[in-house]
Amino acid sequence: MAKKPSSSAESESVLELAKRQSDGRNEEIDLLKQTINELHERDAKREQELCHLNQALSRLSQMSAIECILTNGFEELSTKLAPLAEIGPHRVPITDGAVNARLASMIEATARPSWSGASTVPIPTRPVPFIGEVVPRPRDNERY
């Protein structure tokens, strides 16, 4: 005849089961907490990045505004100063062949070599003999 388990043993097993179950939940809770923390950190990072982007964007928008002001200012200044360019010299190219030839010939007639860096002018010479050093050679048809 089989012996029935006692009530204390049953209660122990139930407690164990309950304990196991509670341990499992705790692990899940821990995991969930960890996940939540990670999400918070990520969120903070995103916010920081967003903040940086906002700052960069605002700077860019400010610069373009300065550029815009400067460009418009210069254009306006250039328009105002345009009449001065007409007062400046009016240079007409030489189209008359005779004038061009006269100028070219004057420039050519005053051309000169460049002497920058000139050093010794090489002039080959031999030692000069004294009187009496050179012996005259008799001509073939002369007899001594």
Partner 1 sequence: MIQQLIDRMMAPPSNMSRDAAAAIVLMCDPFDLLLHMEQVWNAFRVWGPPPNPQPASPARLAFLRYDIGAFAPFIPDPSLAGVPQWDHLGYSYVLENTRAIQILRRVVREYRSGEGLGIPSIATQRWLEITEVLLFGAANPLAPWLSTSVIRPDPEAIRRNAYWRLFGLDLAFGTDDNRPPTYDKATHANASFIQVFEELLFELWQAITNVRNTSGVNASDDDRIFRIAEALRFALRARRQNQLLSREELVAATALGWAELTLSANTPVVEDLVANATSPYERLRMIGERVGLAPHSRSSALFSMAGDLSRFLRIVESGVVSGPELAWVLYLEQPPVGSPPGAASPIGASSRRVITEWASATGKDLKTRAKPIEMRPPTRPPLLVGAR
Q: Which stretch binds partner 1 (CB under 8 A): 8-16, 18-26, 48-56, 95-103?
A: 95-103
d(CA 88, CA 15): 106
> Minimal CA–CA distance to 72: which of 61, 60, 83, 80?
80
Q: CA dist 121 to 11, 28, 33, 118, 127, Å?
A: 126, 103, 97, 8, 18
Applying CB under 8 A, among 3, 4, 8, 93 the residue interacting with partner 1 is: 93
125 binds partner 1 (CB under 8 A): yes
Task: Give the per-residue SS3 of 59-81.
Answer: HHHHHHHHHHHHHHHHHHHHHHH
d(CA 52, CA 58): 10
62 binds partner 1 (CB under 8 A): no
Return the number of the residue (37 or 78) whose C-beta is nearest partner 1: 78
Applying CB under 8 A, among 2, 66, 84, 131 the residue interacting with partner 1 is: 84
Q: Are 67 and 73 in contact (CB under 8 A)?
A: no
119 binds partner 1 (CB under 8 A): yes
72 binds partner 1 (CB under 8 A): no
Return the number of the residue (2 or 106) whose C-beta is nearest partner 1: 106
Applying CB under 8 A, among 1, 2, 66, 87 the residue interacting with partner 1 is: 87
Phi first, then psi: give them for residue 14, nearest 5 degrees.
-65, -40
Binding site for partner 1 (CB under 8 A): 78, 81-82, 84-85, 87-95, 99-107, 109-115, 118-123, 125, 128
